[in-house]
C-alpha cells in the first residue's frame, strides 16, 4: 500500500508544485528557473505525503491539504538550498545533481531559497483568504511557521556544533529541530486540517517524533556506508568534516540497533490510533530499510 500511495502523492504534489511555479507572476523567469531546479530535483516528497496521508486518516478527499503540502515541500527545498551554500555546508552535489548555487550562482541561490520560503507562506495565505475551514487552517499555519522556526534553529545548532565533540543528548536536540520538526509538523498539519481531536494528535506527535529520529539515524548510516550512486552524494563527508552523527557518536552497530528499536516503537504507537494506519506502519519500516 505504501508504494502506491507514495506514488500517487508524488504525482499530485509534482503537478501542483509545477503549476504553482508556472502561474506565479511575482517572480522573474530566471528566478523561477532556479526555484524550480531544486524543487523538481527528485525529492522523496516525504513531508507532503505525511500531510496528505495525515489528512486522509480523518477525511477521504485530501485535495484541501495539497496547497499546504506544496508549501511544506517549498520550505524543505529552501532549507536544502541554503544548507548547501558555500558559507554553510559548501556542498556541490544534492540528489546526484549540482547544487543550486553551483548552477545559478550564490546570489541567485540565496534569493531562490528566500523566494521559496516566502512563496510557501503566500500559498498558505491564499488558502486562508478563501474563508472556509478557517480555524483549522489557521492552526495548521501556526504549526507550520513554528516548525520552520525550529528547523532553522536546528540548522544553526548544526553549524555551531561543527568540529566540536557533542553528546547524544545534544545530537538529539539538533535533529529534533533540524529534521524532526518539519516531519512532525507535516503529519500534524494534515490531521489538524481534517479536524483530528487532541487525543488523536497526541498519538500522531508520539509516532512522528519516533520516525523523525529513525529517519535521521538512517540518514547518518547511509552517509557512512550507503551507495554513492543510489544516494546521489559522496559518502563519508560527515566524518571528513568532523561532524557528529548518530554513527560517529553511537558507532554503526548501536546506531542500527537504535533504529530497530525505534521502528518497532513507532509501529506500536501508531497501532493505538483507531484508524486505518497501514500506511504509517509500512512507512516506519520503509524509513529503516530505504537505501537513499
Nearer to a copy of itself, 146 or 272 (CB): 146
* DSSP per position, 80-117: HHHHHSTTTT--SEETTEE-HHHHH-HHHHHHHHHHHH
Q: Which set of grid coordinates corresponds to residue 248?
A: 560517529
Nearer to a copy of itself, 37 or 280 (CB): 37
Give me the least distance between CB of 150 and a copy of itself, in Å please: 6
Q: Which set of grid coordinates corresponds to residue 250?
A: 553511537
Task: Return the residues of window 89-128 that contact a copy of itself according to CB under 8 A.
Answer: 105-108, 110-111, 113-115, 117-119, 121-122, 124-126, 128
Reduced to 3 states (helix: H, G, I; strand: E, B; else coil), residue 291 is coil
Q: Which of 27, 55, 62, 207 binds a copy of itself (CB under 8 A)?
A: 27
Residues 6 or more apart whose CB falls under 8 angstroms from that of 246 comprise: 171, 216, 217, 220, 221, 255, 258
Task: Return the residues of window 40-99 that contact a copy of itself according to CB under 8 A.
Answer: 78, 82, 85, 87-88
Using CB atoms within 10 Å of the CB of residue 226, give its burial: 0 to 12 exposed, 13 to 18 middle, 19+ buried. buried
Rounded alpha-carbon distances, angstroms, from residue 278 to 5, 97, 273, 283:
11, 34, 11, 8
Task: Return the residues of window 139-198 that contact a copy of itself according to CB under 8 A.
Answer: 139, 141-142, 144-146, 148-150, 152-153, 155-157, 159-160
**Does 135 interact with a copy of itself (rule: CB under 8 A)?**
yes
Q: Which residue has the cell 477525511?
A: 59
Give me the least distance between CB of 145 and a copy of itself, in Å please: 4
Cβ atoms within 10 A of the Cβ of 183, count? 26
Phi, psi for residue 94 in degrees, rounded to 5: -145, 125
> How many residues of this chain bind a copy of itself (CB under 8 A)?
50
Give me the least distance between CB of 243 and a copy of itself, in Å please: 14
Nearer to a copy of itself, 122 or 206 (CB): 122
Nearer to a copy of itself, 15 or 126 (CB): 126
| Exposure of 24 in the CB half-sphere (CA atoms within 13 A) | 24
Residues that bind a copy of itself (CB under 8 A): 24, 26-28, 30-31, 78, 82, 85, 87-88, 105-108, 110-111, 113-115, 117-119, 121-122, 124-126, 128-129, 131, 134-135, 138-139, 141-142, 144-146, 148-150, 152-153, 155-157, 159-160
Amino acid at each position: 500500500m505504501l508504494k502506491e500511495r507514495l506514488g500517487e502523492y508524488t504525482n499530485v504534489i509534482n503537478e501542483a508544485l509545477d503549476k504553482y511555479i508556472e502561474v506565479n507572476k511575482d517572480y522573474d523567469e530566471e528566478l523561477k528557473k532556479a526555484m524550480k531546479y531544486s524543487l523538481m530535483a527528485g525529492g522523496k516528497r516525504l513531508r507532503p505525503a505525511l500531510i496528505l496521508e495525515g489528512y486522509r486518516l480523518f477525511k477521504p478527499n485530501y485535495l484541501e491539504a495539497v496547497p499546504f503540502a506544496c508549501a511544506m515541500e517549498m520550505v524543505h527545498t529552501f532549507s536544502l538550498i541554503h544548507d548547501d551554500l558555500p558559507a554553510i555546508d559548501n556542498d556541490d552535489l544534492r540528489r546526484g545533481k549540482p547544487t543550486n548555487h553551483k548552477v545559478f550562482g550564490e546570489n541567485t541561490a540565496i534569493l531562490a531559497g528566500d523566494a521559496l520560503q516566502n512563496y510557501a507562506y503566500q500559498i498558505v495565505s491564499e488558502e486562508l483568504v478563501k474563508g472556509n475551514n478557517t480555524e483549522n487552517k489557521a492552526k495548521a499555519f501556526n504549526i507550520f511557521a513554528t516548525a520552520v522556526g525550529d528547523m532553522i534553529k536546528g540548522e544553526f545548532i548544526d553549524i555551531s556544533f561543527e568540529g566540536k565533540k557533542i553528546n547524544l543528548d545534544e545530537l538529539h536536540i539538533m535533529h529534533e529541530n533540524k529534521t524532526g520538526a518539519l516531519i512532525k509538523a507535516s503529519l500534524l498539519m494534515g490531521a489538524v486540517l481534517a479536524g483530528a481531536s487532541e487525543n488523536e494528535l497526541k498519538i500522531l506527535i508520539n509516532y512522528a517524533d519516533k520516525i523523525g529520529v529513525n529517519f535521521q539515524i538512517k540518514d547518518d548510516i547511509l552517509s557512512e556506508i550507503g551507495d554513492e550512486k543510489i544516494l546521489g552524494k559522496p559518502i563519508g563527508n560527515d566524518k571528513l568534516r568532523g561532524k557528529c552523527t548518530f554513527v560517529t557518536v553511537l558507532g554503526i552497530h548501536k546506531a542500527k540497533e537504535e533504529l530497530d528499536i525505534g521502528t518497532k516503537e513507532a509501529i506500536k504507537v501508531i497501532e493505538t490510533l483507531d484508524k486505518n494506519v497501514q500506511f504509517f506502519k509500512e512507512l516506519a519500516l520503509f524509513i529503516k530499510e530505504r537505501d537513499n
